């Protein structure tokens, strides 16, 4: 081993610039190929081939540092924040990421050729993983704080306390323990009966590397003569064939020594700028690799072309890319210069023009009921005739009609419709509901159940005619936002009156959470109430959902790019979200209820003790009795269930068709779910099989149920006429729930113990496309939300298909005619819910309008431009607030260029609120701002749009901003309170600003100067800058935009408007305004072109 020398090195293994190269945290030679594998601190794995360290593969495996690597004939196993096995091309074979993976550090095979590995770390349990299946098959209590493991005759585990534990490779029990160091063991290796360790020890109150490598005899469990290494040993690798070891220091120095003769050593020095972070010795013993914190991998060996493995298999390389010949292409270059591939026979595409083929219509889809009863013999399927059609009768195929273009046209854009003077649908129909549609049936999905998509014109989403899809008084929710699958459930809970009142009260009260789903539910409900049929979007709510780590861990979020992929079923996701959402808002309501009180302590405590939370409305208090099957000891566990999953009877194995179970029996079994579970018994002091039984303490006024339909047999229950019952009766006797419906309920109507519940809403999954489903809500609108005309003439049931809203009959709402309609979530409410619960709601907290608050760490009070409202200035219906907002781009627009050169918008740009300024519109402090808030964001900003917004990098950063910086929720709450107090909002082009802010203000509270100075006959609205030049003789927005300047300008324009209207010259000025604008292209001319006021204004007021 005298000939060791550096062969090659690579400084850029994954193609990153020098400033971004992550440190390599794990290194390992492949046992079957001439590859060396490395993992860095960012979780990326990459492999290098042969002595040249040629790049082979690179891929992301973990979100945190890679701790250790192992290889076998099927792939590479890595440990980080997960346990993962990947083939050598980068495709994951399996990943383990559950509660058992907490803080793993190391792993080793349990034996030679074993299909199991033992994984341990800074957690209590060691995991035994079957690498064939990728599952944890066993958990064993192991040594504490295991930092490194190696396998020899026994499994050696070194801890962060310096202790070495020897484990039996079969039972994984600790057989021996001894102290090797007083600090963390950094590395160790074993071969035969020897164990070598290196680590830290305490010296003068500090931990330093031991200057020796300790050697232990595993037969006698005694230490042998240590190996001195003054540079401080950090890594050890024993030679697979010789009694030698390679001992490496962090600064690159390494010794090659004979463990039987410590005086026989060879010194080598690896050149490195930083410190060595990982090493490994090849299975052949001919190559040694070192990696450092700069991402550089060095290869040392005894020859110029060492072999990494004894019997290395060849690796698969991608096919070489053949570069086509370069053709110089100009405007006059003929197309045949590009050429075609060589061929000797006539091409298949070379058909004569006279060759025509008649293609028959596609076969209609087979009725799902027929498929459900079909039996197959060999490859032939047969089923009983449902006898729904006459003999030789042909069924209409809706797919053919769609191919012919029938009923497949959508609404025109508003700009097109206004230009053509149209007020109806594209085929003359007044609304979407009046268009011809498919008949509701087992295989026919009507148009209004199908997924609706937003189309974009050059004017953006505001040009889409949402009114075409909704002529009701109830607002729909838009779909262009990530995670908008929640829309249906949000509509469902909006129409639970008591929950709505709770959320509205919670959002107005004092809530200290910067991101609160209960507050966002209140904001959304307030907006849906004010909309009165206008389309809304839940962007603020869904942005809050996206920021929650628990939601991400539960798999409730769409992809990072916000694009909904093809999802086979949305029902499990919405049911998981239902459970998470109710638990979350209950926790947030409880936290607000328990906030510290100030002022009149006794009165505050009394008020808070009585404050209602969602659990009072929807929570069922349950006591679970658990009885150990071994010792018969009992324990009690109280809990509050906000939602129940329905549990269906097991399918029968006999051939007879089983009777459909009643809804009441299924609900009762779901509430009193009994069974056995494996849990810890305090009496036996070990895990035992415990029998569980549930006792119910109360019946909630509102009952939320997850339908949990997973099989065709379960769906068949809902296809029956008795499912779901529109009314059920629940009674609580001896802590057991009794459920009745139908005729049984009619007999018990006068029984005071029976509480009658009414089905008020269903979230349903629509499976019109097998590969992509969506959710709708069918809601029975409360009587207080219906107008007298609706109460008398229409069904109270409405379908909410995102922004499509339609009145439907109760029979249709509760019916499930085909497998394309699958229930997901149901909600029952007590008929006399007002008597069942009395809400004690907190009073609105107005202090946020009168307090100065900022979360900016580097706030500069010289930038403080607002004068906070005084309580004597309490806003009301006579209060005018001039408002303007600035925005930044969170996502760029996605466009598609068609073959004819025109552009089509696939997804519009996403803007986020960055600054909002509100000025007083009247009084002594007229035009003085009382709100000037910058909005903090933790999402990446694509473009600050500084030219148009005045926002610069760092203005929205909590650590860098020098302005008044607030969370979005607090800034939004200020505006929401002003709207609810009846204030009038004045601004220019408020429609777009309010849409991005995600707030709806009633029309009677809006004064928009873009509409005041507008002639409908001219089809053009004028900019604020042009109006300021023409009306106010001022130049604004010279270098950048400022929201205070824009709001103040709009306020002055309104004052001028009132003057012109009072003087009777408004019409004259508007016509001259447009004439002048046409001359200057509706832009203010440069100062050299104009030195006095426009003549029309001077003449109107008697100027010379």
The predicted structure's pLDDT at residue 602: 35
Q: How confident is the model at residue 415 (pLDDT cuts 50, 70, 90)?
A: low
> Omega of the bond prior to 724 within 30 degrees of 0, cis?
yes
Cα 722 to chain center, whole Å?
Answer: 37
Which stretch of 185-189, 407-411, 881-885, 915-919 has the lowest confidence by average pLDDT?
A: 407-411
Give the phi and the psi of residue 457 in degrees, each rounded to 5: -105, -175
Helices (H) and strands (E) in the chain, counts: 25, 53
Tokens of 423: 């007020």
CB neighbour list of residue 1094: distance below 8 Å, 6 or more residues apart:
1030, 1072, 1076
Model confidence over 593-629: pLDDT tens digits? 544 333 333 333 333 444 568 888 899 999 988 888 8
The answer on pLDDT for 214 being more than 50 is yes
Is 802 annotated to bind a ligand? Reply is no
Which stretch of 75-79, 215-219, 565-569, 743-747 has the lowest confidence by average pLDDT?
A: 565-569
Q: How confident is the model at residue 836 (pLDDT cuts 50, 70, 90)?
A: low
3-state secondary structure of 666: helix
Cα 438 to chain center, whole Å?
Answer: 35
Average pLDDT over residues 453-472: 76
Which stretch of 52-66, 288-302, 411-425 has the lowest confidence by average pLDDT?
A: 411-425
The answer on pLDDT for 319 being more than 90 is no
The domain spans of the chain are 5-14+22-301, 414-595+604-608, 847-1100
How far is the C-alpha of 991 from the C-alpha of 996, rounded, in Å? 9
The better pLDDT of the pair 326, 1020 is held by: 1020
How far is the C-alpha of 156 from the C-alpha of 139, rounded, in Å? 18
The predicted structure's pLDDT at residue 757: 92
Tokens of 259: 């463990």
How far is the C-alpha of 828 from the C-alpha of 838, rounded, in Å? 18
Cα 700 to chain center, whole Å?
Answer: 31
How far is the C-alpha of 948 from the C-alpha of 500, rounded, in Å? 38
Instruction: Kindly provide the b/e burial profile for residues 950-980, where b requires at least 16 CB atoms within 10 angstroms of the residue's own CB.
Output: bbeeebbbeeebbbbbbbbbbbbbbbbbbbe
Q: How confident is the model at residue 509 (pLDDT cuts 50, 70, 90)?
A: confident
Contact status, residue 797 vs residue 807, Cβ threshold 8 Å: yes
Model confidence over 526-543: pLDDT tens digits? 999 998 888 898 999 999
Q: How confident is the model at residue 448 (pLDDT cuts 50, 70, 90)?
A: confident
Average pLDDT, the chain: 83
Model confidence over 258-290: pLDDT tens digits? 888 887 788 888 888 888 999 999 998 899 999
What is the full DSSP assignment across 463-522?
Answer: GS-GGGG--SSS--B-SSSTTGGGHHHHHHHHT-HHHHHHHHHHHHS----SS-HHHHHH
How far is the C-alpha of 698 from the C-alpha of 621, rounded, in Å? 6
Model confidence over 843-869: pLDDT tens digits? 788 888 988 888 888 888 877 888 899
The predicted structure's pLDDT at residue 489: 94
The answer on pLDDT for 1 being more than 90 is no
The answer on pLDDT for 561 being more than 60 is no
The predicted structure's pLDDT at residue 749: 78
Contact status, residue 807 vs residue 780, Cβ threshold 8 Å: no
Report the percent of the chain where pLDDT is more than 90: 34
The answer on pLDDT for 449 being more than 90 is no
Q: How confident is the model at residue 565 (pLDDT cuts 50, 70, 90)?
A: low
Average pLDDT over residues 737-747: 85
Average pLDDT over residues 720-746: 87
The better pLDDT of the pair 403, 259 is held by: 259
Average pLDDT over residues 189-196: 92
Q: How confident is the model at residue 1103 (pLDDT cuts 50, 70, 90)?
A: very low
3-state secondary structure of 447: helix
The answer on pLDDT for 687 being more than 60 is yes
E strands, 131-220, in order: 135-141, 146-151, 155-159, 163-167, 174-179, 185-191, 194-203, 206-209, 212-217
The answer on pLDDT for 196 being more than 90 is yes
Residue in the structure block whose two tokens are 């790019």? 561
Q: Does domain 847-1100 have CATH number 3.30.420.10?
A: yes
Cα 944 to chain center, whole Å?
Answer: 24
E strands, 183-339, in order: 185-191, 194-203, 206-209, 212-217, 222-223, 227-228, 235-238, 244-248, 253-258, 261-269, 276-281, 287-292, 297-301
The answer on pLDDT for 388 being more than 80 is no
The predicted structure's pLDDT at residue 155: 93
How far is the C-alpha of 482 from the C-alpha of 80, rounded, in Å? 29
How far is the C-alpha of 975 from the C-alpha of 870, rounded, in Å? 16
The predicted structure's pLDDT at residue 597: 35
Long-range contacts of 457-464 (CB under 8 A, 24+ apart): 457/413, 457/415, 457/416, 457/905, 458/903, 458/905, 459/413, 459/415, 460/905, 460/908, 461/908, 462/414, 462/991, 462/992, 462/995, 463/413, 463/414, 463/415, 464/411, 464/413, 464/414
Average pLDDT over residues 311-340: 78
Residue in the structure block whose two tokens are 């000037």? 932
Mean pLDDT is highest, among 317-321, 517-521, 630-634, for 517-521
Is 884 annotated to bind a ligand? Reply is yes
Instruction: From 486, 671, 478, 667, select the one nearest 575 (Cα to Cα).
Output: 486
Domain 5-14+22-301 -> CATH class: mainly beta
The answer on pLDDT for 655 being more than 60 is no
The predicted structure's pLDDT at residue 197: 95
Q: How confident is the model at residue 374 (pLDDT cuts 50, 70, 90)?
A: confident
Q: Which CATH architecture has domain 414-595+604-608?
A: Alpha-Beta Complex (3.90)
The predicted structure's pLDDT at residue 352: 75
Residue in the structure block whose two tokens are 């009587």? 783
How far is the C-alpha of 282 from the C-alpha of 259, rounded, in Å? 19
3-state secondary structure of 553: helix
Beta bridge partners of 919: 882, 929
How far is the C-alpha of 82 from the C-alpha of 78, rounded, in Å? 8
Average pLDDT over residues 497-507: 90
Contact status, residue 698 vs residue 830, Cβ threshold 8 Å: no
The predicted structure's pLDDT at residue 577: 94
How far is the C-alpha of 78 from the C-alpha of 107, rounded, in Å? 9
Contact status, residue 798 vs residue 762, Cβ threshold 8 Å: no
Is 1046 annotated to bind a ligand? Reply is yes
Is 993 annotated to bind a ligand? Reply is yes
Contact status, residue 663 vs residue 722, Cβ threshold 8 Å: yes
Residue in the structure block whose two tokens are 């295991």? 146
How far is the C-alpha of 144 from the C-alpha of 540, rounded, in Å? 45
How far is the C-alpha of 548 from the C-alpha of 919, rounded, in Å? 34
Which stretch of 167-176, 384-393, 514-523, 877-886 has the lowest confidence by average pLDDT?
A: 384-393
Give the phi and the psi of residue 849 in degrees, each rounded to 5: -80, -20
How far is the C-alpha of 554 from the C-alpha of 572, rounded, in Å? 11
How far is the C-alpha of 942 from the C-alpha of 187, rounded, in Å? 45
Average pLDDT over residues 710-726: 87
Tokens of 325: 């010949």
3-state secondary structure of 301: strand
Model confidence over 1042-1073: pLDDT tens digits? 899 999 999 999 999 999 999 989 899 999 99
Tokens of 571: 């029902």
The predicted structure's pLDDT at residue 117: 92
Contact status, residue 54 vs residue 61, Cβ threshold 8 Å: no
Q: In terms of DSSP bridges, do strands 984-987 and 1006-1008 run parallel, antiparallel, or are they unpaired?
A: parallel
The answer on pLDDT for 441 being more than 80 is no
3-state secondary structure of 753: coil
CB neighbour list of residue 34: distance below 8 Å, 6 or more residues apart:
49, 50, 307, 308, 309, 312, 315
Q: Give the largest Cα separation in the chain, rounded.
A: 116
Average pLDDT over residues 372-390: 81
């Amino acid at each position: 081993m005298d000939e060791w020398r550096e062969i090659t090195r690579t400084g850029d293994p994954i193609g990153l610039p020098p400033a971004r190269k992550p440190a390599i945290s794990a290194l390992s030679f492949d046992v079957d190929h001439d590859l060396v594998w490395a993992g860095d601190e960012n979780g990326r794995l990459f492999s290098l081939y042969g002595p040249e360290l040629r790049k082979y593969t690179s891929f992301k495996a973990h979100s945190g540092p890679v701790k250790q690597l192992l290889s076998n004939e099927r792939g590479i196993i890595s440990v980080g924040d997960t346990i993962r096995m990947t083939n050598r091309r980068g495709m994951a074979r399996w990943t383990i990421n559950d509660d058992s993976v907490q803080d793993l550090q190391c792993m080793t095979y349990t034996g030679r050729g074993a299909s199991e590995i033992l994984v341990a770390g800074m957690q209590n349990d060691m995991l035994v993983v079957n690498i064939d299946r990728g599952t944890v098959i066993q958990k064993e209590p192991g040594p504490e704080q295991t930092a490194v493991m190696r396998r020899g005759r026994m499994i050696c585990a070194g801890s962060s306390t310096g202790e070495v534990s020897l484990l039996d490779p079969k039972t994984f029990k600790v057989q021996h323990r001894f102290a090797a160091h007083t600090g963390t063991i950094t590395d160790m290796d074993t071969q035969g009966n020897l164990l070598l360790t290196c680590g830290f020890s305490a010296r003068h109150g500090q931990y330093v590397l031991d200057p020796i490598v300790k050697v232990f005899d595993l037969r006698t469990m005694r230490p042998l003569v240590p190996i001195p290494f003054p540079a401080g040993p950090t890594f050890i690798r024993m030679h697979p064939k010789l009694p030698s070891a390679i001992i490496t220091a962090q600064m690159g120095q390494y010794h090659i020594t004979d463990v039987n003769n410590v005086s026989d050593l060879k010194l080598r020095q690896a050149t490195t700028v930083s410190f060595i972070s990982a090493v490994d010795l090849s299975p052949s013993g001919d190559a040694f690799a070192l990696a450092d914190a700069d991402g550089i991998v060095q290869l040392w060996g005894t020859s110029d072309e060492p072999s990494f493995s004894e019997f290395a298999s060849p690796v698969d390389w991608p096919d070489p890319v053949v570069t086509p010949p370069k053709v110089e292409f100009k405007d006059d270059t003929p197309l045949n210069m590009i050429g075609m591939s060589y061929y000797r026979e006539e091409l298949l595409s070379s058909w004569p023009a006279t060759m025509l083929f008649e293609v028959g219509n596609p076969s209609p889809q087979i009725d799902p009921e027929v498929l459900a009863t079909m039996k197959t013999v060999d490859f032939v399927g047969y089923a009983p005739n449902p006898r729904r059609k006459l003999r030789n009768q042909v069924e209409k195929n809706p797919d053919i009609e769609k191919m012919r273009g029938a009923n497949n046209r959508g609404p025109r854009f508003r700009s097109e419709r206004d230009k053509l003077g149209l007020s109806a649908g594209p085929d003359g129909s007044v609304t979407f509901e009046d268009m011809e549609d498919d008949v509701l049936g087992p295989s026919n999905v009507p148009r209004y159940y199908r997924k609706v998509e937003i189309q974009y014109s050059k004017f953006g989403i505001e040009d889409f005619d949402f009114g075409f899809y909704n002529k009701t008084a109830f607002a729909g929710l838009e779909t262009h936002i990530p995670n908008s699958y929640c829309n249906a459930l949000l509509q469902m809970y909006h129409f639970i009156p008591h929950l709505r009142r709770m959320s509205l009260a919670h959002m107005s009260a004092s809530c200290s959470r910067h991101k609160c789903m209960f507050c966002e539910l209140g904001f959304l409900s307030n907006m849906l109430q004010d909309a009165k049929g206008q389309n809304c979007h839940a962007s603020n709510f869904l942005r809050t959902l996206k920021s929650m780590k628990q939601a991400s861990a539960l798999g409730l979020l769409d992809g990072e790019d916000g694009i909904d992929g093809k999802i086979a079923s949305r029902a499990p996701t919405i049911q998981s979200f239902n459970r998470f959402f109710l638990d979350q808002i209950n926790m947030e309501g409880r936290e607000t209820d328990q906030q510290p009180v100030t002022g009149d302590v006794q009165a505050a405590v009394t008020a808070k003790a009585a404050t209602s939370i969602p659990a009072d409305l929807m929570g069922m208090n349950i006591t679970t009795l658990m009885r150990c099957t071994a010792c018969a000891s009992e324990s009690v566990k109280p809990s509050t269930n906000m939602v129940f999953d329905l549990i269906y009877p097991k399918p029968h194995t006999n051939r007879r068709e089983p009777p459909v179970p009643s809804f009441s029996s299924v609900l009762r079994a779901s509430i009193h779910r009994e069974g056995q579970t494996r849990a810890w018994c305090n009496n036996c002091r070990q895990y035992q099989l415990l029998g569980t039984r549930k006792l119910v303490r109360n019946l909630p006024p509102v009952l939320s149920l997850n339908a949990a339909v997973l099989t065709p047999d379960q769906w068949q229950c809902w296809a029956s006429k008795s499912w779901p019952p529109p009314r059920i009766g629940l009674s609580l006797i001896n802590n057991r729930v009794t459920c009745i419906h139908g005729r049984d309920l009619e007999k018990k109507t006068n029984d005071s113990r029976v509480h009658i519940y009414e089905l008020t809403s269903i979230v349903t999954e629509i499976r019109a496309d097998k590969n992509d489903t969506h959710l709708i809500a069918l809601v029975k609108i409360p009587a207080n939300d219906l107008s007298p005309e609706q109460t008398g003439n229409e069904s109270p049931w409405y379908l909410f298909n995102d922004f499509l809203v339609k009145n439907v009959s109760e029979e249709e709402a509760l019916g499930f005619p085909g497998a394309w309609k699958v229930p997901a979530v149901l909600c029952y409410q007590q008929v006399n819910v007002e008597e069942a619960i009395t809400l004690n709601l907190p009073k609105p907290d107005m202090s946020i309008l009168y307090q100065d608050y900022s979360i900016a760490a580097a706030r500069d009070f010289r930038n403080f431009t607002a004068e906070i409202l005084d309580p004597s200035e309490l806003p009301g219906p006579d209060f005018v607030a001039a408002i303007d907002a600035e925005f930044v781009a969170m996502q760029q627009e996605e466009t598609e260029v068609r073959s004819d050169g025109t552009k089509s918008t696939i997804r519009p740009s996403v803007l986020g609120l960055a600054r909002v300024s509100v000025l007083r519109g009247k009084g002594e402090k007229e035009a003085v701002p009382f709100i000037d808030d910058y909005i903090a964001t933790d999402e990446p900003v694509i473009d600050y749009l500084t030219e148009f917004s005045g926002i610069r990098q760092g203005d929205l950063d909590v650590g860098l901003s020098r302005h008044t910086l607030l969370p979005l929720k607090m800034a939004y709450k200020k505006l929401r309170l002003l709207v609810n107090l009846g204030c009038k909002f004045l601004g220019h082009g408020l429609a777009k600003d309010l849409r991005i802010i995600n707030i709806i203000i009633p029309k009677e509270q809006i004064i928009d100067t873009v509409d005041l100075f507008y002639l409908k006959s001219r089809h053009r609205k004028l900019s604020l800058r042009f109006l300021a030049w023409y009306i106010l003789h001022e130049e604004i927005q010279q270098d950048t935009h400022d929201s205070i300047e824009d709001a103040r300008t709009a306020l002055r324009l309104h004052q001028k408007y009132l003057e012109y209207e009072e003087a009777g010259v408004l019409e004259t000025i508007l016509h001259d305004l447009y004439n002048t604008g046409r001359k200057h292209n509706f832009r203010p001319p440069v100062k050299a072109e104009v030195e006095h006021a426009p003549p029309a204004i001077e003449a109107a007021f008697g100027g010379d």
